Structure 1
Amino acid sequence: MLDLVGAILPFGLGVSVSPIPIIVSVLILLSPRSRANGIAFLLGWALGIAAVVTVLTLLAGYLPTDSSDGPNPVAGVLQLALGVWLLVMARRKFRPTESEPGPEAEVDPDTGLPVPQLPGWMSSIASTTPVRSLRSGLLFAGANPKNVAFAAGAALTIGTAGLGTGDVALLLVIYTVIASLTVAVPVGLHLLFPVRTEQPLRALEVWLMRNNTTIAVVLLLVYGVLLIGQGIGSF
């Protein structure tokens, strides 16, 4: 069981450290009714993660079970395909040059760097409600292709291991908890220390907006190579 936890851990962390849901959760925590909105977003995120990985694990259960006595080429082909998909997404996200900020771009007085501008849909989060926050959590967790690819990697590991229902359920819970950590931690800290966390949250928002593309590309490259390596090892 511990070896399977170790196998799904990287995929859960890959979902967890994705910049966009962290940025959205920070924006929600800086909005009016931040406590209710933060809890709703976290609930939607966890439910979306759990739903995707559960469905994919059930589908993976129809594949040949993993065996230490021989290869598992079906799972290997799927892992290779997922790995290549992640590398393609990394290539699409990569931009070799950055456009220079316009003359009216706001500059951070502390760092001298331009302050990243939020897209319109992110700016609208300032007026969000708990129901919309719940829906946003579900959407960001379940409709993100990168999250689906990571969940598929974990699902292939779980679904082809020949485990009983209880062990499968436990691994799914562990995956969901790991994949929700970087949303749960800021929400939990904000609930406990609403005043003291406001400034760090704003600083985190700016840093993530500035480095969003770099983080995403690195994650996609690392996990794409990881899945390709696992796929090759399955033959």
Structure 2
Amino acid sequence: MLEVLGAILPFALGVSVSPVPVIVSVLILLSPRSRANGLAFLLGWTVGVAAVVAVLTALARYLPTDSGDGPNPVAGVLQLALGLWLLVLAWRKFRPGEPDAEAAVDPDTGLPVPELPGWMSSVASTTPARSLRGGVLFAGANPKNLAFAAGAAIAIGTAGLPVGDVVLLVAAYTVIASLTVLLPVGVHLAFPARTQQPLRALEVWLVRNNATIGVVLLLVYGVLLIGQGIGSF
């Protein structure tokens, strides 16, 4: 079981450090109803992550079991396909463009101040119900998250473990994948007055570096899945 936990840990961390859900959670925590919205988004995110990896793991248990000392070409093909998919997503995400001449400039760094997309700007007026739905959608409908969950599900589902161990591994994946949403929400609930300035600084940094972080993650995990796929033959 510990070997499988080590195999799924990189995929859970890949979901956890994705910048977009962190940006959204920060924006929600800066909204007027931050406590209710933050808890609703965290609940939706956790449910979405758990549901996706649980369903994919249940399907992966029908794949040939990985004995550890022989090839598993079915799992290998799936891992290769997922890895190539992540590389395609990285290519599509990399869109170097010309800086906007009219964009505001940060006087401290001299860099353009990032402008939030319209859907992110609307988060400031969100409600708990919309935050809950948004958390589920961000966790479950994101192509990158689906690929990471599929990679973890293949590792869990083909390991031939009893149901109890599978449940524990799915729970561990869910907790780790939710850490970067859980931590800001938890700290803000505990220290609401002290978190305003750090959250705004984190928001600016994440929005500015969103594309770079996303491309690096997709490249690293795409290569990781391709390597695992090759090793399965």
Q: TM-score band (shorter)?
A: over 0.9
Verify: 1:90 aligned to 2:79, yes or no.
no
Deviation, structure 1 residue 179:
0.4
State the secondary structure of the residue aligned to 1:217.
helix
1:200 counterpart residue number: 198
Q: Which string of whole-angstrom CA distances, capped at 9 and with x for unpartnered residues, describes residues 142-198 of structure 1? A: 000000000000000000000111000000000000100000000000001111111
Q: Which string of whole-angstrom CA distances, capped at 9 and with x for unpartnered residues, describes residues 31-60 of structure 1? A: 011011000000000000000000000000
Deviation, structure 1 residue 69:
2.9
1:67 counterpart residue number: 67
- Give me the TM-score of the superposition, normalised by structure 2: 0.98
State the secondary structure of the residue aligned to 1:170.
helix
- The runs of 5 or more residues in structure 1 that have no matched partner are none
- The runs of 5 or more residues in structure 2 that have no matched partner are none
- Give me the TM-score of the superposition, normalised by structure 1: 0.97
Deviation, structure 1 residue 99:
1.8
Supply the distance in 2 between the matched residues of 1:56 and 1:15 (Cα, whole angstroms): 15
1:149 counterpart residue number: 147
Verify: 1:188 aligned to 2:186, yes or no.
yes
- The percent of aligned pairs where both chains have the same amino acid is 79
Supply the distance in 1 between the matched residues of 2:37 and 2:101 (Cα, whole angstroms): 34
- Superposed counterparts of 1:30-179, under 5 Å: 30-95=30-95, 97-103=96-102, 105-179=103-177
2:21 counterpart residue number: 21
Supply the distance in 1 between the matched residues of 2:58 and 2:47 (Cα, whole angstroms): 16
> Which of 215, 218, 225 matches 1:227?
225
Deviation, structure 1 residue 111:
1.9
Supply the distance in 2 between the matched residues of 1:152 and 1:159 (Cα, whole angstroms): 10
State the secondary structure of the residue aligned to 1:152.
helix
Q: Which string of whole-angstrom CA distances, capped at 9 and with x for unpartnered residues, describes residues 58-108 of structure 1? A: 00010001102311110001000000000010011112x3321232x2222
Deviation, structure 1 residue 3:
1.2
Supply the distance in 2 between the matched residues of 1:224 and 1:122 (Cα, whole angstroms): 27
Amino acid aligned to 2:43: L
Supply the distance in 2 between the matched residues of 1:99 and 1:106 (Cα, whole angstroms): 15
Amino acid aligned to 2:20: I
State the secondary structure of the residue aligned to 1:163.
coil
Supply the distance in 1 between the matched residues of 2:56 and 2:62 (Cα, whole angstroms): 10
